[in-house]
Amino acid sequence: MIKKNNWKAWLYLGPVIILMAVFTFYPLISTIGIAFLKDYNYLTQSSKGFTFENFGVVLGLVGTEYQGTTYYMTDVVKYAIPNTLIIVFVTVPLSTIISLLIAVGLNSIPWFKKIMQTIFFIPYVTNAIAVGMVFAVLFDYQGIINFITGQMGTPWIDLGASQTRAMIALCVYIIWHALPFKILIFLSGLAGIDKQYYDAAKIDCASKFRTLTKITVPLLSPQILYVLITSFIGSFKEYTAVVGLIGRQGTSAGSKNMYTVVYYIYDTIGNNQVQYGSAAAVLLFLVILAFTALQFWVSKKRVYY
Partner 1 sequence: MAKKQKEYKPSRRELAYEEHRKSPEYAAIDTKSMTLVIRENETTVAALEKAQKTAKVLSLVLTYLFLGFMALIVIFPFYWMIITSLKSTTEIRASQQTFFPQAVLWSNYVKVFQSFDFVTYLRNTLIVGIISTIGTLITTIFAAFAFARLEFKGRDFLFAVLLATMMIPGEMMVITNYITVANFGWLGNVVGVFTSMIVPFWVSVFYIYLLRQNFKQIPNELYLAAKVDGKSDWSYLWQVMVPLGSPTIISIFILKLMGSWNSYVWPNLVANKQEWRLITNGLRSSFTSTSGEPEYGLQMAATVLVTVPLLLLFIFFRKYIMKGVGRAGIKG
- Site residues for partner 1, 215-274, by CB under 8 A, read 222-223, 225-227, 233, 236-237, 239-240, 243-244, 247, 262, 265-266, 268-269, 274
Nearest distance, CB of residue 16 and partner 1, angstroms: 4
Where does residue 258 fall: left (phi above 0), alpha (psi -120 to 50 degrees), or beta otherwise? alpha
* Contact between 97 and partner 1 per CB under 8 A: no
* Contact between 187 and partner 1 per CB under 8 A: yes
Nearest distance, CB of residue 97 and partner 1, angstroms: 12
The single-letter code of the amino acid at 20 is M
Is the CB of 63 or the CB of 121 nearer to partner 1? Answer: 121
Q: Which of 90, 168, 193, 288 binds partner 1 (CB under 8 A)?
A: 288
Could you tell me how far CA 117 lies from the centroid of its own chain? 24
* Contact between 47 and partner 1 per CB under 8 A: no
Helix 221-236 to helix 274-302 angle (10° resolution) is 170
* Contact between 116 and partner 1 per CB under 8 A: yes
Residues ≥6 apart with Cβ < 8 Å to 253: 159
Phi and psi for 64 in degrees, rounded to 5?
Answer: -110, 140
* Contact between 198 and partner 1 per CB under 8 A: no
* Contact between 289 and partner 1 per CB under 8 A: yes
Q: Which of 100, 102, 166, 201 binds partner 1 (CB under 8 A)?
A: 102
CA distance 28 to 10: 23
CA distance 147 to 155: 12
Residue 273, CA distances (Å) to 18, 177, 185 in order? 29, 32, 40
Write down the H helix ranges in the chain. Answer: 6-20, 26-34, 53-58, 75, 81-86, 92-108, 113-121, 128-138, 144-148, 163-191, 195-203, 208-211, 217-219, 221-236, 240-245, 261-270, 274-302
Q: Which of 13, 61, 294, 298 binds partner 1 (CB under 8 A)?
A: 13
Nearest distance, CB of residue 162 and partner 1, angstroms: 20
Nearest distance, CB of residue 184 and partner 1, angstroms: 5
Q: Which of 16, 61, 200, 298 binds partner 1 (CB under 8 A)?
A: 16
Is the CB of 189 or the CB of 250 nearer to partner 1? Answer: 189
Which residues 142-171 are close enough to bind partner 1 by CB under 8 A? 142-144, 147, 152
DSSP state of 1: -
Residues ≥6 apart with Cβ < 8 Å to 257: 78, 79, 83, 163, 166, 249, 250, 251
Nearest distance, CB of residue 144 and partner 1, angstroms: 5
Q: Among the candidate windows 53-61, 71-79, 86-94, 121-129, which touches partner 1 by CB under 8 A?
A: 121-129
Q: Among the candidate windows 3-11, 78-86, 89-97, 160-168, which touches partner 1 by CB under 8 A?
A: 3-11
Nearest distance, CB of residue 44 and partner 1, angstroms: 11
